[in-house]
Amino acid sequence: MNLYSIKDPSFLKQKNDEELKILAQDVREFLIQSCSRTGGHIGANLGVVELTIALHKHFDSPDDRLIFDVGHQAYIHKILTGRISEFETLRQYKGLCGFPKMRESDHDVWEAGHSSTSLSAAMGIAKARDIKGEDHHVIPVIGDGALTGGMALEALNHIGSDRTNMTIILNDNEMSIAPNVGAMHNMLGRMRTNTQYNRVKHDIEDFLNRLPQVGSRLRDMADRIKDSMKYLVVDGVFFEELGIKYIGPVDGHDFAELSNAINISKDYKGPVVIHVITKKGKGYHPAEDDKLGKWHGLGPYKIDTGEVLGSKSTPSWSEFMSNTVLERAKKDERIVALTPAMPVGSKLTKFQNELPERFFDVGIAEQHAVTMSGGLAASGMRPYLAIYSTFLQRGYDQLLHDVDRQNLNVFLGIDRSGLVGADGETHQGVFDISFISPLPNMTLMMPKDEIEAEQMIDLAFRHEGPVALRYPRGNIKGIEAPAPREPLEYGSWDTVMEGDDLSIISFGPTLDLAIDAAVALKDAGINAGVINARFIKPMDEEMLQSIGYAGKPVLTVEETMLNGGLGSMIAAFMADHGFKNGIRRIGIDNEYVEHGDVNKLLEDIGITTDNIILQSKTLLELENEKEIKN
Distance CA 577, CA 585 (A): 19
* Phi, psi values for residue 273, rounded to 5°: -115, 130
* Phi, psi values for residue 491, rounded to 5°: 75, 10
Residues identified as active-site: 280, 366, 394
Distance CA 418, CA 433 (A): 10
Q: Is 328 left (phi over 0), alpha (psi -120 to 50) or beta?
A: alpha
24 marked among binding-site residues: no
Q: Tally Cβ neighbours within 10 Å of residue 254.
A: 17
115 marked among binding-site residues: yes
Beta strands in 465-510 (DSSP E): 467-470, 494-497, 502-506
Strands 554-561 and 583-588: parallel
271-277 sheet: strands from edge to edge:
65-68, 138-143, 166-172, 271-277, 245-251
454 marked among binding-site residues: no
113 marked among binding-site residues: yes
44 marked among binding-site residues: no
173 marked among binding-site residues: yes
Q: What residues contact 220, with CB distance under 8 A and at least 6 apart? A: none
Q: What residues contact 438, with CB distance under 8 A and at least 6 apart? A: 564
Distance CA 595, CA 91 (A): 6
284 marked among binding-site residues: yes
- Cβ(534)–Cβ(507) below 8 Å: yes
DSSP assignment of 514-553, as one string? HHHHHHHHHHTT--EEEEE--EEES--HHHHHHHHHHT--
Q: How many residues does the chain have?
A: 630
- The alpha carbon of 142 is separated from its chain's Cα centroid by a whole number of angstroms, namely 15
Distance CA 40, CA 402 (A): 36
270 marked among binding-site residues: no
By C-alpha distance, which of 84, 185, 308, 260 is closest to 316?
308
285 marked among binding-site residues: no
72 marked among binding-site residues: yes
- Cβ(429)–Cβ(416) below 8 Å: yes
Question: What are the binding residues for thiamine diphosphate?
Answer: 72, 113-115, 145-146, 173, 284, 366
Question: What are the binding residues?
Answer: 72, 113-115, 144-146, 173, 284, 366
Question: What are the binding residues for Mg(2+)?
Answer: 144, 173
